[in-house]
Amino acid sequence: LMACPPPLSAKDEKSFAYETIKDRLPLIVTRIVDFLARHRSGIAKQYGEVGENECKSCIGAMDKLRYEIARDKSILLLNDYHTDDLQIWNECLQKEMDQGKVISWFQSSWLLVECYMYRKIAEAFYSTKHLQHIDPFFELKQHTFYASMGAINVLLAQLNVDIEQNIDVVNNKSTIEQQFYNYMEISLWGNQCDLSLSGGAHSSQEHDPFHQITELKSHILINHATSVFNYLLDQQAYLLNFDVSVDFVLDNAGFELLTDLCLADFLISKRLCSRITLYLKCLPWFVSDATKSDFTWLLEQLSNTSADPAWQAAAKRWQQYIQNGQWIVQTHRFFTLPYDYSKMQQISPELYSVMSESKLIIFKGDLNYRKLVGDLRWPVNERFETALRGFQPTSFVVLRTCKADVQLELDLKLVQQVAKLDPRWMVNGKWAVIQAHFKKDT
């Protein structure tokens, strides 16, 4: 067995992990306190004194969490009841503790403690009677969606045209190929809109997405889109007699989710695949990750009778895909555990085997990339496959704007050039990769 590098950790004061745990995570917790304070009287009106006290206890829990992060306190087992992921979370934490390790915010692995923070926030809400289902990030997510209105209009209008046109891979392969790259790149750059990088400040899409992808081409450091397109063509879903399923492991709600659904719509309508499973999160996660209710909310906005006709047309198609089983909307606990993907087969074997049956997985976003490569301190020119440490349920591609100090399989000369142009290229979300791994027979 080869030795893996150590995990990214705030131990290294020059790292983005350090910056995150020192500055960004406390800010995110503070915003939850603000959220609760703003809603306190509304909650009191709706749920009386019990509700108001629960609101206060959540504020107390957030203050405590902020204090514990700042003081690098050790992390304790979780303690809420009736949640089906509690045991598996605590087993994971216990395993670390059994190795004699104290888990603490600045000393342990960044991935573990950052995931823990979101689960710890959920614990505070789960422990109440009336506030269990409150997502403290929902206002932010909804607000930023509407802040991207202009881009949404342009995108959906063009999508409808492309889909209604009678062009397919048989009669005009090169046009379909070009459109495939467009929707893939729009979905890629949609990943810039996550709210955890900005500490929850609004980050919306203000540009015409079709212009934007042209301007940003040179910022894609690895681009395997052509291989992905050819791979999908090889599956021959367009011959109609093959069942070709694709999974999306989605990331952020709002504009990014919309761009992902545009890509999913394109793949289905042009018969590049026949079925798509969309994986959403079970709990509020990394501020802006999409939950099932974010997904439902998005569809409601689009299908609203007062919405733009282009929105309604898209919504109508998407609702049909759901009704006739071409789109399957799913959640799975594994995606909100602190485990990286190399552990999926062991921790969630049923998920691993279901995902193995699809032809392609599209992983969205930075966190998924970190989890694929274990969030370890790999040299930037190390092979992607090595960093995957055996994870290959099927072929997959990651669409990621870079927001963490880990990246695989880059040419060192290119790294030098980019670093000169932009010293923060690894973490500021302005650079991206479309990085694929095609399953090899074992």
Tokens 């970190």 appear where? Answer: 370
Cβ 366 to Mg ion shortest distance, Å? 7
| DSSP secondary structure of 391-432 | --SSEEEEEEE--SS---S--HHHHHHHHHH-TTTTTSSS-E
Cβ 258 to ligand F6P shortest distance, Å? 15
Task: Indicate whether 260 belongs to the interface with Mg ion (CB under 5 A).
Answer: no
Which one, 52 or 194, has the nearer CB to ligand F6P?
194
Task: Indicate whether 367 belongs to the interface with ligand F6P (CB under 6 A).
Answer: yes
Coil, strand or helix at 331: strand
Tokens 């997985």 appear where? Answer: 361
Using the contact rule CB under 6 A, the part of the chain among 58-66, 222-230, 364-372, 408-416 near ligand F6P is: 364-372
Among positions 267-286, residues that touch ligand F6P (CB under 6 A) are 286
Beta bridge partners of 376: 7
C-beta atoms surrounding 71 within 10 Å: 11
One-letter amino acid identity for 239?
A: L
Residues in the chain: 442
Residue from 52, 251, 265, 409 touching Mg ion (CB under 5 A): that is: 251
Specify burial of residue 293 (Cβ count, 10 A radius: 0-12, 13-18, 19+): middle
Residue from 404, 432, 433, 436 touching ligand F6P (CB under 6 A): that is: 404
Tokens 């045209």 appear where? Answer: 161
Task: Indicate whether 197 belongs to the interface with ligand F6P (CB under 6 A).
Answer: yes
Binding partner of 274, given Mg ion, ligand F6P, none, CB within 5-8 angstroms per partner class: none
Which of 66, 426, 34 lies closest to 221, judged by CA?
426
- In angstroms, the CA 174 to CA 35 distance is 49
Task: Indicate whether 252 belongs to the interface with Mg ion (CB under 5 A).
Answer: yes
Which one, 120 or 403, has the nearer CB to ligand F6P?
403
Using the contact rule CB under 6 A, the part of the chain among 5-13, 96-104, 138-146, 191-199 near ligand F6P is: 191-199
Residue from 128, 179, 196, 277 touching ligand F6P (CB under 6 A): that is: 196
Residue from 194, 260, 294, 409 touching Mg ion (CB under 5 A): that is: 194
Sheet of strand 432-437, all strands in order from the earlier edge strand to the far edge: 220-223, 432-437, 395-401, 360-364, 245-249, 275-280, 327-331
Q: Are residues 77 and 90 in contact, defined by beta-carbon separation less than 8 angstroms?
A: yes
Binding partner of 191, given Mg ion, ligand F6P, none, CB within 5-8 angstroms per partner class: ligand F6P
402 is written with which tokens? 């870079």
Which one, 192 or 235, has the nearer CB to ligand F6P?
192
Residue from 15, 20, 187, 348 touching ligand F6P (CB under 6 A): that is: 20
Q: Are residues 262 and 159 in contact, defined by beta-carbon separation less than 8 angstroms?
A: yes
Cβ 294 to ligand F6P shortest distance, Å? 13
Which one, 54 or 375, has the nearer CB to Mg ion?
375
- In angstroms, the CA 244 to CA 309 distance is 31
String of contacts with Mg ion for each residue 269-308, x by CB under 5 A: -----------------x--x-------------------
Cβ 175 to ligand F6P shortest distance, Å? 30
Cβ 12 to ligand F6P shortest distance, Å? 15
Task: Indicate whether 141 belongs to the interface with ligand F6P (CB under 6 A).
Answer: no
Cβ 259 to ligand F6P shortest distance, Å? 13
Q: Are residues 321 and 327 in contact, defined by beta-carbon separation less than 8 angstroms?
A: yes
C-beta atoms surrounding 94 within 10 Å: 11
Task: Indicate whether 252 belongs to the interface with ligand F6P (CB under 6 A).
Answer: yes
Task: Give the Cα-Cα-Cα angle 264, 212, 143 (nearest 5 degrees).
Answer: 70
Binding partner of 271, given ligand F6P, Mg ion, none, CB within 5-8 angstroms per partner class: none
- In angstroms, the CA 357 to CA 169 distance is 24
Task: Indicate whether 370 belongs to the interface with ligand F6P (CB under 6 A).
Answer: yes
Binding partner of 265, given Mg ion, ligand F6P, none, CB within 5-8 angstroms per partner class: none
- In angstroms, the CA 91 to CA 426 distance is 33
Binding partner of 403, given ligand F6P, Mg ion, none, CB within 5-8 angstroms per partner class: ligand F6P
- In angstroms, the CA 151 to CA 50 distance is 43
Among positions 26-85, residues that touch ligand F6P (CB under 6 A) are none
Query: Which residues have C-beta within 8 Å of that of residue 119, sequence separation ≥ 6?
Result: 78, 85, 89, 283, 336
Q: Which residues bind Mg ion (CB under 5 A)?
A: 194, 251-252, 286, 289
Q: Which residues bind ligand F6P (CB under 6 A)?
A: 20, 114, 191, 194, 196-197, 251-252, 286, 365-367, 370, 403-404
